[in-house]
Amino acid sequence: MWESKPLIMKNPVFLFLLITTLSTFAQETKIKHPVYIGLEAGFNSSPNFSENDKILHDLFGITFNYFYTESRSIKIKVKYMSVEKNATANYLDYGYYQDYDVSYKADFIVIPVLYKWQFGKVNVNGFVQGGIYAGGELDAEYVGYPMNYSENPIDFGLSLGAGLQFPLIKDKLFVNSEIEVYQGLFSRIPDSEQSQKTLFSESLTNLAYSIGLCYKF
């Protein structure tokens, strides 16, 4: 006995139109997840109180930026940067407390993990970002510290930044310009009896400016 076929089987044109419509809809609603990989270079500065110290230090890094939506991404960096901190510490020495000038200098590898929000026009985009970072000393110099001071080669902290991105080659190669603040959480100054000392005066604070190129995959 003859059986009737569904409409889409009897009408090839209808089947073609249905497939085309579904394919177009899938392409339009598909969420793209581009990855940007780049290089950056710039300058880093730490608040210090000595006129003879170098104010700006070089920094270099590589960046990985994964966009999970059109405007939001997770950004990871691996950066080489130099840090410096000078202060007056009041610590116990030879049985009584007195003030000492101390100086901390180190080269760090810093790895920030950041949430980034990008906004703006198609050709030029601004962005803000923030997150946490971990850092490790490559080498360090502790000058004026007490003999029993426990040196810590690791640092953790918070990072905030903002910048601009614009294309050098349309939709492939981009220029990034960023300003960032890195605030450490571990003390780098010997324990002090001075009550005005705070976390921010005893830990590392660094201001960084960088410019770089990133390629969109």
Q: Stretch 111-135: mean pLDDT, rounded?
A: 94
Find where tokens 């959480």 sit: 185
Evaluate whether 206 touches 43 at the Cβ level (below 8 Å): no
What's the rounded mean pLDDT across residues 159-186?
94
Residues 87 and 4 occupy one common structural domain: no
Look up tokens 């009408």; give the residue. 11
- 44 and 23, same domain (yes or no): no
159 and 205 inside one domain = yes
Q: Domain range spanning residue 3? A: 1-30
The reply to whether 100 and 166 lie within a common domain is yes
Q: How far is CA 211 from CA 91, 138, 141, 144, 177, in A?
A: 41, 23, 28, 36, 4
CB 43 within 8 A of CB 208: yes
Give the residue among 147, 154, 155, 161 at the shortest CA–CA distance from 185.
Answer: 155
Q: Which two tokens stand for residue 133?
A: 């970072």
- The reply to whether 84 and 178 lie within a common domain is yes
Least-confidence region, from 15-24, 49-58, 139-148: 15-24
Q: Distances from the Cα of 129 to the Cαs of 38, 73, 117, 158, in angstroms?
A: 17, 9, 6, 11
Q: How many domains does the chain have?
A: 2
Residues 135 and 117 in one domain: yes
Residues 139 and 195 placed together within one structural domain of the fold: yes
Asked whether residue 2 falls in the same domain as residue 50, the answer is no
pLDDT reported for residue 195: 45
86-99 pLDDT, tens digit each? 888 777 666 677 78
pLDDT value for 196: 52
| Pair 51, 25 in one domain | no
184 and 93 inside one domain: yes
Residue 43, domain CATH: 2.40.160.20
Confidence of residue 191 (pLDDT cuts 50, 70, 90): low
Q: Are residues 60 and 144 in the same domain?
A: yes
Q: Residues 160-172: pLDDT tens digits?
A: 999 999 999 988 9
Task: Determine the number of helices (DSSP H) and then strands (DSSP E) in the chain.
Answer: 3, 8
pLDDT of residue 7: 44
Does 123 share its domain with 174? yes
pLDDT confidence bin for 16, thresholds 50/70/90: low
Gap between the Cα atoms of 181 and 204, Å rounded? 11
So what's the pLDDT on residue 37?
A: 95
pTM: 0.79
